[in-house]
Amino acid sequence: MPPKRKAATAAKAGGKKAKEETPKPKDAFTTAKEALLAAGSQAKGKRKVDSHCQLSATGEVYEDYDCMLNQTNIGHNNNKFYVIQVVQSGKSYYSWNRWGRVGEVGQSKLNSFSKPEDAVKDFEKKFKDKTKNNWSDRSNFVSHAGKYTLIEVDGEEDAEVKVDSVDGKTIKVTKTVQPCTLDSATGSLIELIFSNDMFKEAMECMNLDIKKMPLGKLSKVQIAKGFDVLEEIEAAMNRKAKSGLLEELSSKFYTIIPHNFGRNRPPTINDKEIVEQKKEMLMVLADIELAQTLKTETEKAQEEMVETVPHPLDQDYNSLKCVLTLLDKNTETFKVIEKYLKATSENGYYKPKIINVWEVDREKEGQRFREHDSLENRRLLWHGTNIAVVAAILKSGLRIMPHSGGRVGRGIYFASENSKSAGYVRCSKNTGVMFLNEVALGKEHTITRDNSSLKKAPSGSDSVVARGSVEPDPSKDIFITLEGKSVAVPQGKPIQQPQFSDSYFSNSEYLIYKESQCRMRFLLELQMH
């Protein structure tokens, strides 16, 4: 497993192009950032009235007069927000303002107007006072020192009652929701990996302010801006910039990506480990955004002008384009997996217990994997992850880790010991998810020291193994057949490897640098103790 990030939406910023020079090749960070920006121009839905406003139940946001502002200044221990809206309720119009420390309700003020243009004028004046920008020019928003910054969030479409008309009269369409076709275990899994409460829990664990980023609705553009600032921080650290600049850039990052630190002073981002953690956080946000997009598609499908609609869990499941087949616990395959888990987790911090196992068949992944039919040396290896990104992984597969900060470079990390991968599992109420993957290792290149510069296997090799001082007893390996290919599955307990006793790695880490060299075979739902 990777020291920081295993599978996530790619993202790392490249350097600026110098005059008349050949453009540098785009790395994964740049490519993903551009993808975020390209996808960020989607139409915004109708906004909702701030839930703390007394008109939230009866009013609606007038036109598009709604904004969320944020300002963080570490030096002055500022970490504050400002909400401004124009609200229409009946024939009356209001300007609503709420402000305070991030994570708190704060103070508020509601001004009443008889004409909408007066409420708009009040809104625009407040926006100009707080940001030094004109509302009409917000598409070219410029951040100013000591002022608030506009936070871009994707709007939420209000649920509409779908209607039909007969002889000019509007009638409500009664929908019949079909029974769920999924078995109970699979239905529960789908409910879990699309759960709003789970997404909220994951975001709160990262100190993110979920009131400003409701359920992954922070816009793709805003996430890309966050990556930009992390690139600035990284560049400043590389040239050993003064602490004042790092404090300023950290304030800029927290302004763009609102964090809830309570009354504590926001910490300065001043070392590479924190930068990697923040990259991880943004990648989780991007994957939550993907899962939320899938869920929105399900909700829209439910609103179509049809009388009979599939069950929402079936819709969510189908959006993954992935077949999950529940394994019978009496099968030989289940018993092999269970033994693999128990043998390689005994010495770890966690003692995971299997709840359920599914066979995984992602659409087109098998076809892609067949590109490596000529590669031998196949192993079934572990990959642990944050439960908040499981839906995105099932939809998009395991993706190349986007930053070069990993101990073995930029690749997809696997482990032969469950205890190693378990350290990267992030649970929801003690329930976690791990994947078992068939990995076509081919010719291995063995290392025993860190090499974070690796972006591909050395010439003549197909994979890299950071060989640990312990390894599941090789003499206990068994071989199973998957689609005609022999695949090794460890079954023994980890034992000392004398020839690697001086390795910098305690447990072996297996790296591939081509996404097509792995295929997800099994998903394990685990109780993590």
The shares of helix, strand and coil residues in the chain, as percent rounded to the nearest 5, are 35, 25, 40
Told to judge if 376 belongs to the known catalytic residues of this protein, a careful annotator would answer no
Marked catalytic residue, from 232, 276, 509, 525: 509
Residue identified by tokens 């075979």 is 521
Q: What are phi and psi of 297, to 5 degrees?
A: -60, -40
Residue type, 346: E
Range 221-225, long-range pairs (CB < 8 A, 24+ positions): 221/36, 221/37, 221/40, 221/41, 221/152, 222/151, 222/152, 222/153, 222/256, 222/257, 223/36, 223/257, 223/282, 223/285, 223/286, 223/289, 224/33, 224/36, 224/37, 224/40, 225/256
Distances (CA, A) of 526 to 2, 199, 426, 495: 20, 18, 11, 25
Closest of 329, 325, 327, 333 to residue 362, by C-alpha: 325
466: β partners: 447, 509
Pairing outcome for strands 478-482 and 485-489? antiparallel
Specify the length of the chain in residues: 529
433: β partners: 525
> What SS3 state is found at 368?
helix
| Residues marked as catalytic | 509
